[in-house]
Structure 1
């Protein structure tokens, strides 16, 4: 290549570099001008939402929109092992699938109003949240911990001692009290239902049903019978003057979450005692026998029971394979619906899930 050709090439490369710089300058100028046009006029203020709302959150209550009001508690990963060893009381809440976080906030908002001695306390925000860092996992970020930073770097959380327990099935929330704590679970639900009927409490949007758990036990024939006998005895002492003769009772057994857990392996082993009790008829016979022992003058009435014993299989996460835990409650007729099946009354009338089916 001659010297003249080389000089021509250098001049062409220089022109190209100058052209590129000019294009970048023009683009920067246009972006700056557009930014100036988008600025609000003097005397006006525009507030951009920090979190983009999805279609399902339009029209949410103020306490749902502002996570600083009610924080989502973290899962208590020690709770499942404690529940396996000791009886606990609490609440099992049903909600729409993929709306567990909204339902958690709503459930806490409702329950804290009726739990005795629910004092408030302050706690520090998550470590590193001020820098946008979340030490444990992505769940902390989703819980809105960063948005809970206030001027004093603290947020208010209700100290109602409820633990949020991780489950293997969507559409369910489990709150438990510490072992040994036995607040009036059924009375709390009575107060909630009464407030909804009197319209002193707004109808919930996400929480469909609140099942009061008066006690838990491993799904074992002896333990189940002992727990049912204890709760039925307490019910009869409190309501012996309100019941007719013979006493009409019904038994409900809900096995939500079996297929989502390792218990489906147990069901294949017909010789396993747990597999036997997972059968609906066997569980009914065990519970009915326990009721008959306490109330000899009693008959089954599925349409108009005066007392209902409800058994809820709890799909706990983190328990050993082949283990199962149930929550038990003995309820009066005022808190029970018998159609389309025996269950705790819904908090909202005419709850329907996708596809037109009634939510369970």
Structure 2
């Protein structure tokens, strides 16, 4: 009679548990290695203080291009790659506390194969983050809380297909060296080509998009480049300038009501300012678009929440080995897929 009651309306407990384990094991076997790896990588929440901080402090970081509506996957992928080359990314995401709830453990093993758009990404960040005195308190579904103070900020942008990761103002790692090492590993075949990230642009410094700030930052970085004995240069020094205003249309639309009279620096003006900054350091430098020895790349950062007159750019002075000149001057792609556009 007891056995009948045990089977009445449900399966025996040990059978149900075994069934759950089999399902979980099947899911793990069907997931690709990347999916299994991504299941244990936490994504940092948007730092909503970062845009205003970039107006007042020069910071370094990485601007990453990726497939549109695949920002979440690209963020996981970028962090998993960059943590191999920078110690700061190893501690960039919170460690969640162990939960006694078996469902929570199972959820951490699974990976969501569908990407969410930036709005969902933002809402998730707002609902789970509590910023107290600069410390982020992450709440898990099991009720456990973990405090972490990350040196990395994920900055919200107005354009899809772009990710911006910045370091804290008092941290200035050699971002160019990190990307150089990364690209070298890809070319040597010791690092697998990424699935979602197209390019990683190393930002040596940020600054406001105005003549004085831009000229000052470029001069400083060019001088730093010239002093680096690793760089072998000819005489006269050949240089090229790239100015990418990607995302300006989205920024203009979202800030047009408050900044209708703002004028964004044009390409000709930008090239003129940068060229003058280069000649401040190397008076006999000449422009060479085909085979430059040093390349000054200016990337507009379409930051969310800033007025149009307060635009910020990322600046880097790069050696020729890290760039391509055709069809335009830009950082090397991480994948050889010709269909990849960034």
TM-score, normalization: structure 2?
0.76
* Aligned positions of 1:1-360 closer than 5 A: 46-47=22-23, 59=32, 61-66=34-39, 69-116=40-87, 120=91, 123-124=95-96, 137-139=123-125, 161-239=151-229, 242-262=232-252, 265=256, 269=261, 272=262, 274-275=263-264, 277=265, 279-352=266-339, 358-360=340-342
Instruction: Give 1:241 deviation, angstroms.
Output: 6.2
Q: Secondary structure at the match of 1:322?
A: helix
Cα RMSD (Å) of the superposition?
3.8
CA distance, structure 1, for counterparts of residue 17 and residue 270 of structure 2? 72
- For the 8 Å contact 2:64–2:162, the answer to whether it is kept is yes
Rg: which structure is higher? Answer: 1
- For the 8 Å contact 1:89–1:213, the answer to whether it is kept is yes
Instruction: Give 1:162 deviation, angstroms.
Output: 1.2
Instruction: Give 1:318 deviation, angstroms.
Output: 1.5
- For the 8 Å contact 1:216–1:328, the answer to whether it is kept is yes
- May I ask how many residue pairs the two structures share in their alignment? 300
Structure 1 pair 237–49 and aligned structure 2 pair: CA distance change class (3 A): same
Task: Give the structure 2 partner of residue 24 of structure 1.
Answer: none
Structure number with the bigger relative contact order (C-alpha 8 A, sep ≥ 6) is 2
Instruction: Give 1:290 deviation, angstroms.
Output: 0.8
Give unpaired runs (5+ residues) of structure 2: 1-7, 108-121, 130-137
Instruction: Give 1:138 deviation, angstroms.
Output: 3.7
Q: Secondary structure at the match of 1:251?
A: strand
Structure 1 pair 211–345 and aligned structure 2 pair: CA distance change class (3 A): same
Give unpaired runs (5+ residues) of structure 1: 1-31, 52-56, 353-357
- For the 8 Å contact 1:254–1:311, the answer to whether it is kept is yes
Structure 1 pair 125–267 and aligned structure 2 pair: CA distance change class (3 A): same
Cα deviations across residues 92-138 of structure 1 (Å, max 9, x unaligned)? 000000000000000000111111465558644699x97x9xxx944
TM-score, normalization: structure 1?
0.72
